[in-house]
Chain A
């Protein structure tokens, strides 16, 4: 009885937040709603006796990834979206048809397909930390390692894409004198070599910086 109440509560929260993600016109409100979706999903996992997944859901998605998203939205100071006419209007009809098919499929599965019987001995240990850890490091070791390699490749790829200029020597920390230069001196593509009292290292880095900015003109 109480599990049904909790399920309806959290499922309703998840769906409401999910609708809000799509409907909000400000990106930050959308991001906050998405956090709501993740938290209500975590609550649903708890009611399904999978506390480990629930905790990881909150830590990874709500706590790390969405914080980064909010961080970026705050940094870019994104304004309200402009509302304009949808360019692919005919897709609305297709979406309605596809949604109808999906609802029909769900109804078919619920009413006509004999599902697997639910386990009788109450709570299983599948969602507990011990069984997940044991599974990850024994029978699913290869998929686990492949996933970690994929994530590593994604990180390296992102770094390579983001870093267009030359490599900066690790010996250069904060550039001496760089903070007191006027922005137009740094940004000007035709600027003379810097006359400030900087080390050779810093001057080299600043030149690289100028070369990178030049094509934007």
Chain B
């Protein structure tokens, strides 16, 4: 580990593995979404390509890639090209700070913590990268020179700015409890009670309220049902990505699913104990399993919500965010601070 050469090789391998894992997870989330939605709506869903439709995402990928890459003649070409890149790069950048598992021992090489980058302000880094991600959607809507796209872009910037606030405030309870912004330390602090001392239950201030506010705001941040107004197909055709086709559309599509995965990772890390669970102290690799099991639970929740809930109206969305979620998040901060003061003294 001290050897810088080995260190950089290990880092490179870690980044590659994380990237491939996330991309595979995206592919199979798309498939799972279609199958589960099919189940909820009483139909089959894609089941012909490969056993049980398992190769469907790859077929879709090839099909989308060979489509013609259209660029609207009146569009702002450079920004039109830049927007999907911003969207997918900012979505990807958040992945590096999440601890995928505890420190594991690799034979002949030594001990490695299963996290790509560990630094002092990891949580703020995630929030910062997420907030820059708004540009991808906003610029896509503007540069397409299409009124539906513009409406979608405007709606999404307004929505993401509004819900970012309650999202950030809902995390402060956890930060107050752990006294650090380093995600790795936050996870390690939740390892008591045989791996069940998650911040959701942790004394003296269980973060149940914060968790609920975070979950709702995270769904709004990722523009998913019931907050998918930026791409409301009944009013806006497809919202900000109406004019996008081929690989650029694929990038937006990927960015949405990567964002779903990263907000699930953040929820897991901050509220559900990250890789903690019964038996991790004995078998460290079990932690990786727990981590992904929790993420898959959140992804299933997303799909479930999409199958069951109708879409908000825009004024309902705004008043819900500002008049209900935001006060609730502030209440959570006050409660947590009070309980933590009582608990510590």
User: Closest CB of chain A to B186's CB: distance in Å?
Assistant: 13
| Stretch among A63-71, A99-107, A143-151, A157-165 lining the B interface | A63-71
Q: Select which of A39, A55, A74, A173 is within 8 A of B124 by beta carbon.
A: A55
A157 to chain B, nearest CB (A): 20
Q: How far is the CB of B158 from chain A (nearest CB, A)?
A: 7
Q: How far is B157's CA from A191's CA once the two chains are assembled, in angstroms?
A: 36
Asked if A14 is an interface residue, CB under 8 A from chain B, the answer is: no
| Chain A residue with the shortest CB-CB distance to B123 | A55
A contact residues, total (Cβ < 8 Å): 26
Q: Give the contacting residue for A71; candidates B125, B128, B138, B164; CB below 8 A.
A: B138
Binary A-proximity of B69-94 (CB < 8 A = 1, otherwise 0): 00000000001000000000000000
Number of chain B residues whose Cβ lies closer than 8 Å to a Cβ of chain A: 29
Beta-carbon contact of A52 and B120 below 8 Å: yes
The answer to whether B32 has its CB under 8 Å from any CB of chain A is no
Q: Per-position contact with A for B126-160: 1 when CB-CB < 8 Å, else 0?
A: 01111110110011011000000010011001100
**Is there an interface contact between B161 and A68, defined as CB atoms closer than 8 Å?**
yes
Residues of B within 8 Å of A68, CB to CB, are 161
Indicate if the CB atoms of B131 and A51 lie closer than 8 Å: no
**A28 contacts chain B at the CB level, 8 A cutoff:** yes
Residue in A28, A51, A63, A173 with the greatest tally of chain B CB atoms within 10 Å = A63
Q: What mask results when residues 182 to 197 of chain B are scored 1 for a CB within 8 Å of chain A, else 0?
A: 0000000000000000
* Whole-angstrom CA separation of A57 from B130 in the bound complex: 14
Q: Are A51 and B121 closer than 8 Å at their CB atoms?
A: yes
A67:B121 contact, CB within 8 angstroms: no
On chain A, the residues within 8 Å of B141 by CB distance are 74
- Interchain CB contact under 8 A, B138 and A56: no
The one of A32, A42, A74, A128 in contact with B120, judged by C-beta atoms closer than 8 angstroms, is A128
Q: Which of A52, A54, A64, A71 contacts B131 (CB 8 A)?
A: A64
Q: Are B150 and A74 in contact (CB under 8 A)?
A: yes
Bound Cα distance from A121 to B329, whole angstroms: 41
Given A58-B128, A67-B131, A71-B158, A174 and B315 contact (CB-CB distance below 8 Å): yes
Residues of A within 8 A of B164 (CB): 63-64
Contact among A28, A42, A74 with B154 in the assembled complex (CB-CB below 8 Å): A74
A62 lies within 8 A of chain B by Cβ: yes
C-alpha gap A174/B138 in the complex (Å) = 26
B181 at the interface (CB under 8 A from A): yes
For residue B179, which residue of chain A has the nearest CB?
A: A130
Contacts of B322 in A (CB 8 A): none
Q: Write the chain A residue with the least CB distance to B142.
A: A74
Q: Which residues of B contact A52 (CB under 8 A)?
A: 120-121, 124
Which residues of chain A are within 8 angstroms of B132 by Cβ–Cβ distance? 35, 39, 58, 62-63
Is A188 part of the binding interface, using a Cβ–Cβ cutoff of 8 Å?
A: no
Q: Which residues of B contact A29 (CB under 8 A)?
A: 79
Shortest Cβ distance from residue B178 to the other chain A in the assembled complex, whole angstroms: 12
- Bound Cα distance A74, B135 (Å): 12
Residues of chain B contacted by A67 (CB below 8 angstroms): 131, 134-135, 138, 157, 161
List A residues 106-156 near B (Cβ within 8 Å). Answer: 128-129
Given A55-B121, A129-B181 in contact, is the A74-B128 Cβ separation under 8 Å? no
Chain B residue contacts of A70, Cβ below 8 A: 135, 138-139, 142, 157
Interface check B119, CB cutoff 8 A: yes
In the bound complex, how far is the Cα of B121 from the Cα of A8, in angstroms? 24
A64 to B125, CA, bound (A): 14
Cα distance A54–B132 in the bound complex, in angstroms: 14
Q: Which of A32, A59, A63, A173 contacts B315 (CB 8 A)?
A: A173
| A187–chain B nearest beta-carbon distance, Å | 22
In the assembled complex, A75 has its CB within 8 A of some CB on chain B:
yes
How far is it, in angstroms, between the C-alpha of A62 and the C-alpha of B127 when the chains are bound?
A: 12
CB nearest to B150 among chain A residues:
A74
Q: A52-B121, A58-B131, A74-B142 are in contact. List 10 more A-B contacts (CB 8 A).
A: A28-B79, A29-B79, A32-B79, A32-B139, A54-B121, A62-B132, A63-B131, A68-B161, A71-B158, A129-B181
Listed A/B pairs (5) with beta-carbon separation below 8 Å: A51-B121, A55-B121, A55-B124, A56-B124, A58-B128
7 smallest A-B Cβ distances: which pairs?
A: A63-B131, A55-B124, A58-B128, A51-B121, A59-B128, A55-B121, A74-B142
